[in-house]
Amino acid sequence: MTANHLRAFIVVSIVAVIAVTLAGAGIAFLIGAIAGAAIAVLLATAYLLRPLRVVRDNAAHIAAGDFGARIRQRPPGPAGQMADALNRVAERFEEQMETASEGQSRLAAALNSSVDPVSALDREGRILFANVAFEETFGRRLEAVAGKPFAYVLADEDVIDAIRASREQGLRKISVIEQPGRRFFQVVTTPIAGGGEWAVLIVFHDLTDVQRTEQIRRDFVANVSHELRTPLAALKSVVETLAGGALEDESVAHEFLRRADAEVDRLVQLVEELLELSRIESGDQPLTLRETDVAALLAEAAERLRPQAERANLNLALELSADLGAARIDGARIERAALNLLHNAIKFTPSGGKVTLAAWRDDGSIVVQVRDTGAGIAQSDLSRIFERFYKVDQSRASGGSGLGLALVKHAVEAHGGSVHVESEQARGSVFSFRIPIGD
């Protein structure tokens, strides 16, 4: 019995004593009966109703989501049995919620590890989830877009129609969209069965590289056709001219035969470069590594093109570090790479300009650099300058196959190196490559 109950019992007893003193035995008996009933009510409150209130309050906590709530002091009687049952229910709820939370965490972790942007929508098309890749791709944090329609992030008509078809008709839809910066995505919208609030899953597959590769393939076919068509057309013209009577004029015949020979040489060079590039890319032409004097190799390459530079009235300079020494490289390929870079620099540098071939050692690598004061290259062309057959507009009319820089890139990468270009229109270009050679 609590202190409050004891005080109430004492008060009732005193009242009963006073009643006996002031009244007769009959009145005293009635008052005593009333006092007994009051004591019985107090005892019922103490031993039954209060424990039920404890059980009720604890159940309210559990209903509010506090699954860790427990009745720590077990009350006696039926209330204790109710308390035990309520504690067991709370424990099961807590276990189930922990399991569900772990499952949700694993799902979120799996989706966040995906490189593809992923988002989940409810039945009204509102965003409920977005993974890290989605946030990075579209530049929107989940906290900022949660609960908003998907069109708030991507107002693409095809995607919105696909979402509607997945929500309303349960259809899986696939579409391809283009985003700013020429980024292409394949968008897959899929209805989610039994996903609770999640009704539609949207996955974005980045097709930018695929589209770029396809564009390169198309450009390759177009460029090969272009490069072959020009010399073949020239040869056909020569043959027709000779057959038309020019063969009778010896001087004219010799001139046309010289032109035919030049066009055949152009075709042979194109085919050889294509074969060499194909062998390098396929690995059928392994490197022939030998200890090579790098300074002597580069100096020889410069001397081979010096007459061409002098005819173009250009200053061809050498800046070779004294510590270049020898390195284990495929000398023929590296010389070819240097020749290609020098040849391009001489070709696109106007009269009176300067072309510089430099080389030095840097952190276990050899760096070869070709600088010119030529026309320069537009920024839009720099990312594709090392592709096969790719030519900037100003070089289209200059002849050449457009394979030289591709051969440079593959020769350097075959050594485990890398190529780099910096250029500004009307201020010249700087082409360089780095080859790791160790100590």
**Above pLDDT 90, what percent of the chain?**
23
Does 56 share its domain with 94?
Answer: yes
Domain boundary among 206, 238, 256: 206
Answer yes or no: is pLDDT of 395 > 50: no
Answer yes or no: is pLDDT of 14 > 70: no
User: Which range has the worst mean pLDDT, 22-36, 166-180, 403-417?
Assistant: 22-36
The range of the structural domain enclosing residue 28 comes to: 3-100
Does 232 share its domain with 250?
Answer: yes
Average pLDDT value over all residues in the chain: 79
Answer yes or no: is pLDDT of 168 > 50: yes
Does 386 share its domain with 432?
Answer: yes
Domain count, the chain: 4
Does 91 share its domain with 122?
Answer: no
Does 85 share its domain with 19?
Answer: yes
pLDDT band at residue 130 using 50, 70 and 90 as cut-offs: confident
User: Which range has the worst mean pLDDT, 17-31, 102-116, 151-165, 172-186?
Assistant: 17-31
pLDDT band at residue 396 using 50, 70 and 90 as cut-offs: very low
* CA proximity to 117, closest of 175, 188, 182, 167: 188
- 59-81 mean pLDDT: 65
pLDDT band at residue 42 using 50, 70 and 90 as cut-offs: low
Answer yes or no: is pLDDT of 293 > 90: yes
* 315 compared with 259, residue with greater pLDDT: 315
**Above pLDDT 70, what percent of the chain?**
71
Sign of torsion over alpha carbons 221, 225, 228, 230: negative
- 150-160 mean pLDDT: 87
Q: Is the residue at 107 inside a domain?
A: no
Answer yes or no: is pLDDT of 62 > 60: yes
pLDDT digits (tens, 9 = 90+) for 236-288: 888 888 888 777 777 888 888 888 887 887 787 777 777 777 776 666 667 88
Does 66 share its domain with 134?
Answer: no
pLDDT band at residue 37 using 50, 70 and 90 as cut-offs: low
- 47-57 mean pLDDT: 63
Whole-model pTM?
0.49
- CATH number of the structural domain spanning residue 235: 1.10.287.130
pLDDT at res. 354: 95
Q: Is the residue at 105 inside a domain?
A: no
Q: Tokens standing for 65?
A: 């989501």
Q: Is the residue at 160 inside a domain?
A: yes
Q: Is the residue at 409 inside a domain?
A: yes
235 exposed, middle or buried (CB, 10 Å; 0-12, 13-18, 19+)? middle
Does 388 share its domain with 432?
Answer: yes
Does 307 share its domain with 411?
Answer: yes
Does 57 share its domain with 82?
Answer: yes
Domain boundary among 60, 77, 100: 100
- The highest-confidence range among 7-21, 158-172, 237-251, by mean pLDDT, is 158-172
Separation of CA 356 from chain center: 39
- 297-301 mean pLDDT: 94
Answer yes or no: is pLDDT of 234 > 60: yes
* CA proximity to 176, closest of 168, 167, 185, 164: 185
Domain boundary among 154, 182, 206: 206
- 149-158 mean pLDDT: 87
Q: Tokens standing for 191?
A: 């209805």
Does 197 share its domain with 240?
Answer: no
Q: Is the residue at 106 inside a domain?
A: no
Answer yes or no: is pLDDT of 406 > 80: yes
- CATH number of the structural domain spanning residue 199: 3.30.450.20
pLDDT at res. 292: 94
Answer yes or no: is pLDDT of 40 > 60: no
Sorted by sequence, the CB contacts under 8 Å of residue 116 that are 6+ apart come out as: 133, 203, 204, 205, 206
User: Which range has the worst mean pLDDT, 40-54, 142-156, 157-171?
Assistant: 40-54
pLDDT at res. 356: 96
Q: What is the DSSP letter of 247?
A: G
pLDDT at res. 45: 55
Q: How far is CA 354 from CA 167, 308, 349, 377, 396, in A?
A: 66, 13, 7, 17, 23
CA–CA separation, 403 vs 313, rounded Å?
Answer: 26
Sign of torsion over alpha carbons 99, 100, 101, 105: positive
Structural contact between residues 404 and 421, judged by C-beta atoms closer than 8 angstroms: no
pLDDT at res. 138: 85
pLDDT digits (tens, 9 = 90+) for 331-359: 988 998 999 899 889 989 999 999 999 99
pLDDT at res. 249: 77
The counts of H helices and E strands in the chain are 13, 12
* 181 compared with 203, residue with greater pLDDT: 203
pLDDT at res. 103: 54
Does 259 share its domain with 190?
Answer: no
Does 86 share its domain with 124?
Answer: no
